[in-house]
Amino acid sequence: MKKALYTLTTTFLASTTSAIFAGDRIGDFALIDNQGTQHHMAWYDDQNAVVILPQANGATDASALSDLEDLKESYADQGVVFFLINPGMETDREAVSQDLASMGVELPVLMDDAQLVAEALGFTRLDEAVVYNPKSFELIYRGPTGSDLEAAVLRALEGSDHSLVTMTTDGSEIEYSGVGADKVPSYVADVAPVIKENCATCHREGGIAPFAMDSKLALQGWSPMIREVVMTKRMPPGQIDTKVSHKMKNQMNLSDAEMQTLVRWVNAGSPVDGDVDPLVGLQWPDTKWTLAEELGEPDLIVKIPPQAIPATGVLDYRDIPLDLGLTEDRWVRASEVAPDNADVLHHIIATVIPPEGKPDGQQAFVKALNSLPEERAAPIRAEMFAAMAAGKQPNIEKIFEENPELEQLSIGLILGGEDDIPQFGGYAPGNAVSVAPEGAGGLLKAGTSLSLQMHYTTSGREVTDETEIGIYFYPEGEVPKERMTGAVGNDFDINIPAFTKDHELELVTYILNESDLYSLMPHMHFRGKRMKFFAEYPDGSEELLLSVPDYDFNWQLVHELAEPIRVPAGTKIRAVGAFDNSAQNKANPDPSIDLSWGQQSFEEMFMGFYSWKEIDQSGDD
């Protein structure tokens, strides 16, 4: 297979870069459009062709656009998908949407802010269109719109000829810029620092990643995969859309410049320079605790009893009581789970059980009901008393449906979220720590224990897991003045039809008192596709808090706000997400079945986890 060399700038392309040869694969890629929806070309492998035309605010080629819309009218129902692409000429999505609206156009615009996809597709002018095969990731046409483009679409529909046809156009030129546009990035000065900062923590000897990026030779060997995972946004596994909403403290996304550095270096053949390799001999903390750099070693390490995991089969959840051995009360600042066998440990949910025991459902319901304003609580009590007086059971399901915050409060109390009990760290891939802000914390009373819900998956070999939990205390005698709280939103009424590509659900969680919002976390299983979180304020206004356009079940990330958001009492957090239960979802165990709520990974959940700190702390000791 002939090697494809890619454009660095229009001038650089003319002087140093050859054209893409027939039969060469462009490769898979993913881009977010002007409405915040991610489009991954692998999702369209049930389609016959993808047609793309450049867009530029106030400069889109009107004739080419008209041709494209006519073509869409004729072929959209024949398995042909149509996009516009903005090749980094405008990064403001709202401005792009307004430009489309002024032209009466409704096509999605792929926002190629780093210019890497347009570069890979070989765009040089605004009147060029391309036809891309999403099954083979090959380009079969690049040239003018009109009859030649239609002929390429017909070739794609017939499937008889996949050779690349290129034709020149004379439209406005596209200028390429950014890192690597005028010269190949330096391995020593440009590439190695990006790898060290974003990749090497996991991709090292003994790290959680499957291979190490610890030398120039390793990087050269893995360079095709590096390009693929950057172009498809699979790595780093940040998941979030960094161009909208609020900035997150722990976002793991590459910047446009970092993406340009890596991809353009790989496109140039991964050359190395310099006598010293910056990736050789990197030093890493000799500890399993990621919080050690900030807080030192844990004050208390609790070992979970060894868990034998068989080689195959579906494993039920395990409920494991864990005695903390506390003989005196201690205030908690943070906790962390150190997994022993991360390849089989799917998740841990830790519930704090105080010495007096965990509240039962009835107690939790009564306490939650009493916490509501009296004008809200009184009618509910009257309805329940009327039912019991008639010898009937109260319709709790109806009560929860009409008062969803009551269900939320009840579940929170059952899980231990009351009074001074700390928020305790659980575990899921990418999420193993819980750290309260300085001056906030929770109390573990003497005699407190943990109840661990542990979920294991088999890996093809028998193993024993000996995971540990580390706890960080405030100094003895120091009582933090503030308490963290939060909620878990959970939709138990899930019904996802077989073969659906984008089945949308919505979940509302209530913040009853004025609070500072600290973090948000989506949770779905293998069919989870995307999720956005909106704050709906009592005055009727709405704000996008977080967008996760390409949810990945393999990384259960808690997204921490760089700065807490002050929200008024009565704020609703609305989580809007979707599931891909089709064959295009490569992680889908079986697209032919209807899905409902269930604990196992091959079933589904739709949840949002939130942490916040109430402004009025007067109820705390």
For residues 33 and 69, state if they share a domain: yes
d(CA 355, CA 376) in angstroms, rounded, equals 33
* Residue 566 included in any domain: yes
For residues 446 and 577, state if they share a domain: no
β-strand partners of 506: 576
The pLDDT value recorded for residue 412 is 61
Write the pLDDT tens digit of every residue in 330-389. 999 999 999 998 888 888 888 888 887 766 566 667 777 777 777 777 788 777 767 767
**Please, are residues 470 and 298 in contact by the beta-carbon 8 Å criterion?**
yes
- 163 contact partners, CB below 8 Å, separation of at least 6: 22, 23, 140
Query: Which residues in the chain come in under a pLDDT of 50?
Result: 1-22, 416-417, 620-621
* Residue 2 included in any domain: no
Helix axes 404-414, 361-371, angle to 10 degrees: 130
Number of domains in the chain: 5
Helix axes 374-389, 361-371, angle to 10 degrees: 140
The pLDDT value recorded for residue 6 is 33
d(CA 118, CA 120) in angstroms, rounded, equals 5
The pLDDT value recorded for residue 4 is 34
DSSP type of residue 76:
G
For residues 302 and 325, state if they share a domain: yes
For residues 399 and 533, state if they share a domain: no
For residues 323 and 469, state if they share a domain: yes
* Residue 171 included in any domain: no
Write down which residue in 166, 197, 224 finishes a domain: 166
* Residue 300 included in any domain: yes
Query: 140: domain CATH number?
Result: 3.40.30.10
d(CA 140, CA 142) in angstroms, rounded, equals 7
Q: Would you mind telling me the total number of residues written for the chain in this entry?
A: 621
pTM value is 0.83
Query: Structure tokens of 160?
Result: 């008889």
For residues 83 and 151, state if they share a domain: yes
For residues 103 and 239, state if they share a domain: no
**Please, are residues 80 and 131 in contact by the beta-carbon 8 Å criterion?**
no
Domain with 400 in it: 361-414
Query: 421: domain CATH number?
Result: 2.60.120.230
Of 141, 113, 115, the residue nearest 52 (C-alpha): 141
**Please, are residues 124 and 87 in contact by the beta-carbon 8 Å criterion?**
no
Write the pLDDT tens digit of every residue in 104-127. 999 999 999 999 999 999 999 999
For residues 559 and 455, state if they share a domain: no
Residue 418: count other Cβ atoms within 10 Å of its Cβ.
Answer: 18
For residues 341 and 409, state if they share a domain: no
* Residue 274 included in any domain: no
